[in-house]
C-alpha cells in the first residue's frame, strides 16, 4: 500500500485504527464489564455442569464402538444390521458423509463374550458396507481408561501450573504470574462450562486439547505482559501515566498483534473443525478442534480482558502506583495515549539521545486530539518540579 493511498483515507474506521495503532480502548477502566461477562459465562457453565453434568464419551464410561466407511448405507440399515448381530441397545451415528459409528455398552459381558460379540458386529457392519471385517475399526474401552488418562492429565496440569507460575514470577514478576494463572483458570472454567452447556462429548482427546489451550492462553498472556514490562521500564518512569493507563497503552499497542495472532491460531483450528472433521469424518480431529476452538477464543479474550485489567488492578493497590493513579485522576488534561503517539514519543526521546538516524522528513505528524509534542514537554517540566 503506497503512501498516497493512505493519505486519502481521512477518517479511518475501527479496523483502520487498529491497523495504524491508533486505538484508545479503555481495557482497564471497563474491567467490571469484562469480569461480569466472564463470570456470567462461567456461572452458567458451572450451573449447567451441576445440573446436567458432562456428556462423557465411552472412554470414560467404558463400552465398545465400531466404525466403518459405508458409502451406500443408512443409519436405519446399519442399526438393524448390528441389532441382528446381537447388539441390544446400539447408538448409531453418521460421521462426516460416509462413515458410520456404532457404540454400545457391553461391559456386563465377559472379556471372551465381548470379543465374540465385537467380531460379530464387525462382520455385520462390513457386510452392510460391502467390504470385509478388517475394514471395520473397533474400539473397546474399560471403564477406568478415561479416568486414568484424565488422572495423568490432571497431574500434568498441576505440575504445569506450578512451573508456569514459577517461571513468570522469575522472568516477570509474581503479580503477573498470579494474573496469568487466574486467566488460565478462567479459560479452563469457560471451556468446561461450554462443554457442559452445549453437551459436547468429553473424550481423552478433549482433555489433551484443554491442556494445549492453557499453554496457548498463557503464551498469549506472556506476549502481552512482555510489552507491559517493557513499558513499565520505559514510559511509566516518566511519571505521566498511572500503571493502569500504562497497561491500557500496552494493550492497545499489542492489540493488532493479539488480533492477528488469534486469527492466525484460530484459522487452522477452524480448518481442522470444518475440513477435517465435518467433511471427512475424523472424530479425533473433531474432538481436538472443538475444544481448541472454544479454548482459543477464551484464551485470546482472557489475555486481553482478564489478565491485563487484573494485573493493573493488583498493581494499583501498591502504594507507589496508587499515588501515581491518584495524580493521574486529578490531572485536568487527562488524555489517553494511542500506541502511535506513544511510539512517536519514544522516538523523540530516542532522538534526544542522538541514537536515531532518522531525518526530520520521516517524522510522523501528530494527530489532533492525541498527545502533541508540546504536551509532552510540559509534563516533563512538571515532573522535574516534583
Partner 1 sequence: MAQQVGSRRSMIVSLILTIAIAFGSLVATLSLGWGPKLGLDLAGGLSVVYAPATHASNADMQEVVTILGNRVNGLGVSGATVNLQGKNVVVSVPGAKDARHVLAIVGETAQLLFRPVLCQVAEPTKKAKTYTGSVPTCASNYLWTEANLGVTPNNSPAGFASNAPAVDPNYSVVKTTSPPKDLPGNNVILPYLGNPGVRYLLGKSELTGQAIGKAVAQQDQLGAWVVNYTLTKTGSPEWDAVAKENFHQALAIELDGVVQSAPLIQPTQATFTSFAGTGQISGSFTEQSAKNLAIAMEFGALPVRLNPLNTLIVSPTLGHSALVAGLGAGLVGLALVLLYTILYYRALGLVIVLGLAATAALLWAIISALGHTALAPSFDLAGITGIIVSIGITVDSYIVYFERLKDEARAGRSIRTSVDRGFRSAWRTVLAADTVSLLAAILLYLIAVGDVRGFAFFLGLSTLMDVFMTWYFTRPLVILLGRRSNEGGSALSMAAGLTPGVAAHE
* One character per residue 176-215, x = contact with partner 1 (rule: CB under 8 A): ----------------------------xx--xx-xx-xx
Binding partner 1 (rule: CB under 8 A), the pick from 38, 48, 103, 140 is 140
- 366: contact with partner 1 by CB under 8 A: yes
Kindly tell me which of 20 and 91 has the beta carbon lying closer to partner 1.
20
Backbone angles phi, psi at 28, to 5 degrees: -75, -45
Kindly tell me which of 289 and 309 has the beta carbon lying closer to partner 1.
289
Q: What one-character-per-residue DSSP string does 229-255 give?
A: HHHHHTGGGGTSS-HHHHHHHHHHHHH
| Shortest Å distance, C-beta 91 to partner 1 | 18
In degrees, to the nearest 5, what angle opens at C-alpha 183 toward C-alphas 338 and 269? 85
Query: Quick one: cell of 91?
Result: 447408538
- Residue recorded with cell 495504524: 20
Within 224-253, the residues that bind partner 1 by CB under 8 A are: 226-227, 230, 253
Query: Quick one: cell of 232?
Result: 513499565
- 317: contact with partner 1 by CB under 8 A: no
Binding partner 1 (rule: CB under 8 A), the pick from 80, 91, 119, 169 is 119
| Shortest Å distance, C-beta 174 to partner 1 | 16
| Shortest Å distance, C-beta 142 to partner 1 | 5
Binding partner 1 (rule: CB under 8 A), the pick from 25, 93, 133, 165 is 133
Dihedral angle computed from the Cα positions of residues 312, 315, 318 and 322, in that order, rounded to the nearest 10 degrees: -20
Within 96-115, the residues that bind partner 1 by CB under 8 A are: 99, 111, 115
Query: Quick one: cell of 365?
Result: 505528524
Contact in structure between 64 and 104 (CB atoms under 8 Å): yes
Binding partner 1 (rule: CB under 8 A), the pick from 348, 372, 375, 379 is 348
Kindly tell me which of 7 and 332 has the beta carbon lying closer to partner 1.
7
Backbone angles phi, psi at 140, to 5 degrees: -130, 130
Kindly tell me which of 41 and 214 has the beta carbon lying closer to partner 1.
214
Long-range contacts of 13-16 (CB under 8 A, 24+ apart): none
* One character per residue 53-82, x = contact with partner 1 (rule: CB under 8 A): ------x-------xxx-------------
The window from 78-86, 145-153, 186-194, 317-325 that contacts partner 1 (CB under 8 A) reads: 145-153
- 256: contact with partner 1 by CB under 8 A: yes
Q: How far, in Å, CA of 289 to CA of 199, rounded?
A: 16
Contact in structure between 314 and 31 (CB atoms under 8 Å): no
Q: How far, in Å, CA of 217 to CA of 336, rounded?
A: 27
Amino acid at each position: 500500500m503506497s503512501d498516497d493511498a493512505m493519505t486519502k483515507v481521512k477518517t479511518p474506521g475501527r479496523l483502520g485504527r487498529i491497523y495504524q495503532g491508533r486505538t484508545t480502548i479503555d481495557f482497564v477502566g471497563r474491567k467490571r464489564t469484562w469480569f461480569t461477562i466472564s463470570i456470567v459465562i462461567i456461572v452458567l457453565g458451572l450451573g449447567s455442569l451441576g445440573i446436567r453434568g458432562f456428556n462423557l464419551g465411552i472412554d470414560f464410561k467404558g463400552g465398545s464402538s465400531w466404525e466403518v466407511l459405508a458409502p451406500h448405507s443408512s443409519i436405519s440399515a446399519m442399526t438393524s444390521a448390528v441389532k441382528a448381530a446381537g447388539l441390544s441397545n446400539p447408538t448409531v451415528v453418521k460421521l462426516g458423509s460416509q462413515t458410520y459409528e456404532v457404540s454400545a455398552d457391553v461391559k456386563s459381558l465377559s472379556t471372551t463374550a465381548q470379543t465374540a460379540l465385537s467380531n460379530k458386529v464387525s462382520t455385520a457392519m462390513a457386510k452392510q458396507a460391502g467390504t470385509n471385517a478388517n475394514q471395520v475399526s473397533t474400539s473397546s474401552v474399560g471403564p477406568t481408561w478415561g479416568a486414568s488418562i484424565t488422572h495423568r492429565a490432571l497431574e500434568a496440569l498441576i505440575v504445569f501450573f506450578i512451573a508456569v507460575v514459577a517461571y513468570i514470577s522469575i522472568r516477570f514478576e509474581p503479580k503477573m504470574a498470579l494474573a496469568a494463572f487466574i486467566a488460565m483458570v478462567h479459560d479452563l472454567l469457560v471451556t468446561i462450562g461450554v462443554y457442559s452447556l452445549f453437551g459436547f462429548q468429553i473424550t481423552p482427546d478433549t482433555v489433551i486439547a484443554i491442556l494445549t489451550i492453557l499453554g496457548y492462553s498463557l503464551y498469549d498472556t506472556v506476549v502481552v505482559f512482555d510489552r507491559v514490562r517493557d513499558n513499565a521500564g520505559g514510559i511509566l518512569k516518566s511519571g505521566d501515566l498511572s500503571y493502569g493507563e500504562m497497561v491500557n497503552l500496552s494493550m492497545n499497542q499489542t492489540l493488532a498483534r493479539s488480533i492477528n495472532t488469534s486469527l492466525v491460531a484460530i484459522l487452522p483450528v477452524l480448518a481442522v473443525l470444518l475440513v477435517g472433521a465435518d467433511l471427512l469424518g475424523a472424530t479425533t480431529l473433531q474432538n481436538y478442534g472443538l475444544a481448541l476452538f472454544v479454548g482459543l477464543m477464551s484464551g485470546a479474550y482472557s489475555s486481553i480482558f482478564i489478565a491485563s485489567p487484573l494485573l493493573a488492578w493488583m498493581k494499583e493497590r501498591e502504594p507507589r502506583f496508587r499515588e501515581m493513579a491518584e495524580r493521574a485522576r486529578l490531572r485536568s488534561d487527562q488524555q489517553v495515549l494511542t500506541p502511535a503517539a506513544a511510539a512517536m514519543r519514544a522516538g523523540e526521546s530516542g532522538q534526544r539521545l542522538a541514537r536515531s538516524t532518522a531525518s526530520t522528513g520521516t517524522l510522523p505528524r501528530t494527530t489532533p486530539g492525541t498527545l502533541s509534542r508540546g504536551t509532552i514537554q510540559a509534563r516533563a517540566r512538571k515532573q522535574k518540579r516534583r
